[in-house]
Amino acid sequence: MKKQSSESIRIFKNPILESFTHVHPIIPLLLWVPIILFLFYRGFTVKNINITEFIILFFLGMLLWTFTEYVLHRFVFHWDSKSRAGKYFVFLFHGLHHDDPQDATRLVMPPVPALLIVSLLWGIFSSIFPDQYIDVLMAHFLIGYLCYDYIHYATHHFAMTSPVGKFLRKYHLQHHYAGENSRYGVSSPLWDYIFRTTRGSKVEHH
């Protein structure tokens, strides 16, 4: 499905369902910052996290986010499904963005799928990491997610004149316009270098 005008691509005929696919960029902050602050509060007051543990969990949470971002982007959002249902899922979650990458209302994750994904990941991480650390780890993970959301928004709508900003903007736009089978990192190219996915081919959408 290709965009035919300056209007957003319409997904649902139902106006209520359609409204949920458009998100103002302030929404992720309003949703996640209170949760992050609560998790920090519980980490310090209930789980008795100390400063050293807090710092270690910061770096671990950020690293975990960049890896999760890479895996989701590469294997879920660019899933090469053969079924009609699978193709529709990929289109809803990410193909739509590739068809219309400059749609400002579809550059940050809508709250409902974001909550579902985070809940799933929370369950997975809770089975791996000790209960004492999971709150603060997830808080830092969510900060990483917010960084991703706003870096992604900025790459499509701002000049990003700093050296790091210029690099990230160029890197992500190359994913869109030069090779969609590569450059899956948005907030960091780390895992692209590790898994050698910094080069790839352009994909034609039908």
Q: Name, in order, each residue with C-beta under 8 angstroms of 99's C-beta and a sequence gap of 6 or more.
A: 1, 2, 3, 9, 205
Token pair listed for 178: 């030069």
The pTM for the full model equals 0.84
Separation between Cα atoms, residue 21 and residue 93, nearest integer Å: 10
Separation between Cα atoms, residue 87 and residue 182, nearest integer Å: 19
- 178 lies in some domain: no
Whole-number Cα distances in Å, 204 to 80, 95, 108, 168, 177:
13, 11, 24, 23, 11
pLDDT at 127: 96
The residue segments making up the domain with residue 24 are 16-146
- 60 lies in some domain: yes
Q: Are 40 and 122 in contact (CB under 8 A)?
A: no
Number of domains in the chain: 1
- 134 lies in some domain: yes
Q: Report the 10 Å Cβ neighbour count for 28.
A: 22
pLDDT in tens, the chain (206 residues): 444 445 666 666 666 766 666 788 899 999 999 999 999 999 999 999 999 999 999 999 999 999 999 999 889 887 877 887 777 666 666 656 665 666 666 677 888 888 999 999 999 999 999 999 999 999 999 999 999 999 988 888 888 889 999 999 999 888 887 777 889 999 999 999 999 999 866 554 43
pLDDT at 173: 87
- 3 lies in some domain: no
Task: Please choose, from the candidates 107, 101, 99, the residue with its C-alpha nearest in 3D space to the C-alpha of residue 26.
Answer: 107
- 139 lies in some domain: yes
Burial 35-64 (b: 16+ CB within 10 A, else e): ebeebbeebeeebebeeebbebbbebbbbb
- 194 lies in some domain: no
Separation between Cα atoms, residue 55 and residue 45, nearest integer Å: 16
Mutual angle of helices 51-71 and 131-157, in 10-degree steps: 50
- 187 lies in some domain: no
- 49 lies in some domain: yes
